[in-house]
Amino acid sequence: MLDLIPSLSGWAPALARERFAVATIVRAGGSVPRPVGTSMLVSAGGAILGSLSGGCVEGAVVAAALESMDDGATRLETFGFSAEDAFAVGLTCGGELEVHIEPANLGRGCPLGEAVRQLAAYRTDEPVALVRTLDAGENARGSIAVVIPDPGTATVSANPDLATLLDLNADPGAGRALVVQLDSFLRGGATGVLGLGGPGLCTGETALLIESRLAPPRLLVFGANDLSAALLPAAKPLGYHVTLVDARPAFASQARFRAADEVVTAWPHHYLAAEAAAGLVDSRTVICILTHDPKFDIPLLEAALGLDVAFVGALGSRRSHAQRVGALLDAGVRPERIAQLHSPLGLDIGAVSPAEVAVSVLAEVIAARNAAASHQPLRETSGPIHQQRAARPAPTNVMQQEIVWT
Q: What pLDDT tens digit does each residue of the chain (406 aa) get?
A: 999 999 998 887 777 778 899 999 998 876 666 889 999 999 988 889 998 877 678 888 999 999 999 988 888 988 875 444 433 444 455 578 889 999 987 665 688 888 998 999 999 889 999 999 887 655 566 678 999 999 988 888 888 888 777 766 555 555 677 888 888 899 889 899 987 544 344 444 678 899 999 999 999 999 999 999 999 999 999 989 999 999 999 999 999 999 999 999 999 999 999 999 999 999 999 999 999 888 999 999 999 999 999 999 999 888 999 999 999 999 999 999 999 999 999 998 889 999 999 999 999 999 988 766 667 665 555 665 555 544 433 333 333 333 333 3
DSSP state letters, 94-152 = S-EEEEEEEEE-SSTT-HHHHHHHHHTTS-TTS-EEEEEEE--STT-----EEEES-GG
Distance (Å, rounded) from C-alpha 129 to C-alpha 165? 14
pTM recorded for the entire structure = 0.74
Contact indicator for 77, 99 with CB cutoff of 8 Å: yes
* DSSP 8-state assignment for residue 342: B
Distance (Å, rounded) from C-alpha 269 to C-alpha 323? 19
Contact indicator for 52, 25 with CB cutoff of 8 Å: yes
Tell me the torsion sign for CA atoms 155, 161, 162, 163: positive
Which residues pair with residue 262 across a beta bridge? Answer: 243
Distance (Å, rounded) from C-alpha 59 to C-alpha 353? 43
Contact indicator for 401, 27 with CB cutoff of 8 Å: yes
The per-residue pLDDT for 31 is 64
Q: φ, ψ for residue 206 (rounded to 5)?
A: -75, 140
Please report the domains of the chain, with CATH numbers, ordered by start residue: 2-213 (no CATH), 218-346 (3.40.50.720)
* DSSP 8-state assignment for residue 394: P
Q: At 334, is the secondary structure helix, strand, or coil?
A: coil
- In sequence order, which residues have a C-beta less than 8 Å from that of residue 116 and are 6 or more positions away? 1, 8, 15, 20, 22, 41, 104
Question: How far out from the chain centre does Cα 354 lie?
Answer: 27
Q: What spatial distance separates the first Cα and last Cα of the chain, rounded to whole Å?
A: 15
DSSP state letters, 64-100 = HHHHHHHH---EEEEEE--SS-TTSSS-TTS-EEEEE
DSSP state letters, 202-250 = GGT--EEEEEEE-SPPEEEEE--SHHHHHHHHHHGGGT-EEEEEES-HH
Task: Give the DSSP H or E segment for 23.
Answer: strand 20-29
Distance (Å, rounded) from C-alpha 61 to C-alpha 48? 11
The per-residue pLDDT for 345 is 92
* Upstream peptide bond of 344 is cis (omega within 30 degrees of 0): yes
Other CB atoms within a 10 A radius of the CB of residue 388 amount to 16
**Cα dist from 114 to 1, 48, 75, 119, 149, whole Å:** 13, 18, 20, 9, 15
Side chain identity at residue 102, one-letter code: E
